[in-house]
Amino acid sequence: MEQELNEDKNNDNNDYFKVDYKNQDVSKIPAFKSWYERTDKYIKKENIARGKAHDIYNDHILLIAFCDTCLSYVICSYEGHFSYIKCTKCQTYFCIGCSRKQQRFNKYNGDETLCIKGYLKLFYLRTIYRRSELIRTHPKFHILHIFFCLIITPLYLGFISNVMGFLFHPKKEIEKDKLGKKKFLFIFIYSIFRGILMFPYIILFLPFMIILLLPGIFSYKYYLYIYIMYITAIWPGTGSLENVGDN
């Protein structure tokens, strides 16, 4: 892989592709297409291998993103934040949704704010690669999860939207106080009560959730994707949810 990627004349490393200026249209550049195809194949294979290894210290998801600092398309790593990724070339943390650089460290998101666009992008990656802080499952958890899917989904979505709403940051820089434990606890409890307001939508969601869960009867692997969606939506991480069928 390294030998192949080093064949590109404008690269002296295998993990990035340098551009001439920001927002340059590289879609028609043959060298970029070649680099992207090889790199994309490599990181997909690597991400699957890392998931099967179940190594919580080396389960970081790799992805391709544009780094403003390097002015390059680079291989980046997801290390457990809601929306931040790390450039493997310059080691800068930035939001995958809006490219905002990390300002101050916060255990909830690597910073004191959260970008909803970045959150959704990493939520998708965490789901398809089954990444969260949960690495083991149990039949009792599945029973509880199915109950949540059928009955609590509207309340859960209302709760998450309120939590994320408080953490969402605008594109312009705005100074905010650090998110203390008491303030976060207040937001958490407040969001629970706001989520309860979604109760009237339970019947509306029920047919959709039944259809969504039905294929899980025939495919346990499919069910795990639905299962991890609920976990990683509010509890992100790099641990790979184990599936005995993968081995």
DSSP 102-116: P-S--TTTSSS-B-H
Cα-Cα end-to-end distance for the chain: 25
Residue 171 in 3-state DSSP?
coil
Phi, psi of 188 (to 5 degrees): -60, -50
Q: What is the full per-residue pLDDT of the chain (247 aa) written as tens digits?
A: 433 433 443 444 467 898 888 888 888 889 999 999 999 999 999 888 887 766 665 678 999 999 999 899 999 999 888 888 999 999 989 989 888 887 655 555 555 567 788 889 999 999 998 888 887 777 888 888 998 899 889 988 888 887 776 665 433 444 444 555 666 677 778 788 888 888 888 888 999 999 999 999 999 889 989 999 998 988 888 888 765 444 4
Report yes or no on whether pTM surpasses 0.75: yes
The rounded distance, in Å, linking the Cα atoms of 11 and 5 is 8
Helix axes 202-213, 220-232, angle to 10 degrees: 140
